[in-house]
Amino acid sequence: MEPKIIEPSKGWKLVDFKELWRYKDLLYFLTLRGIKARYAQSILGVTWAIIQPLFTTLVFTVVFGNLAKVDSDGMPYILFSYLALWPWNYFSGTLTESANSLIANSGMITKVYFPRMVLPLASIFSKLLDFIIAFLVVLGFLIYFQVMPGWGLVFLPLLIVQLLLTSLGIGMILSAMAVQYRDVKHALTFLVQLLMYAAPVVYSTTAVPEEYRSFYILNPMVGVIEGFRAAFLDRPIPWEWIWPGAMVALVLFVFGMFYFRRMERVFADVA
Cα distance between residue 123 and residue 101, in whole Å: 7
pLDDT at 17: 77
**The three-state (H, E, C) secondary structure of the chain, written as one string:** CCCCCCCCCCCCCCCCHHHHHHCHHHHHHHHHHHHHHHHCCCCCHHHHHHHHHHHHHHHHHHHHHHHCCCCCCCCCHHHHHHHHHHHHHHHHHHHHHHHHHHHHCHHHHHHCCCCCCHHHHHHHHHCHHHHHHHHHHHHHHHHHCCCCCCHHHHHHHHHHHHHHHHHHHHHHHHHHHHHHCCCHHHHHHHHHHHHHHCCCCCCCHHHCCHHHHHHHCCCHHHHHHHHHHHHHCCCCCCHHHHHHHHHHHHHHHHHHHHHHHHHHHHHHHHC
Cα distance between residue 134 and residue 205, in whole Å: 24
Helix axis angle, 24-39 relative to 118-126, nearest 10°? 50
Closest CA to 259 of 9, 2, 7, 78: 9
- What are the extents of the domains in the chain? 17-35+44-264
Cα distance between residue 84 and residue 240, in whole Å: 18
pLDDT at 115: 82
Q: How far is CA 15 from CA 94, 108, 268, in A?
A: 21, 20, 18
**Per-residue pLDDT of the chain in tens (271 residues, 90 and over written 9):** 455 444 555 555 667 778 888 888 988 998 988 888 777 666 666 777 788 888 889 999 999 988 888 888 888 999 999 999 999 999 998 888 888 888 877 778 777 778 888 888 898 888 888 899 889 999 999 999 998 888 889 999 999 999 999 999 998 888 888 887 777 777 888 888 888 889 999 998 988 988 898 899 999 999 999 999 999 998 999 999 999 999 999 999 999 988 888 887 766 554 5
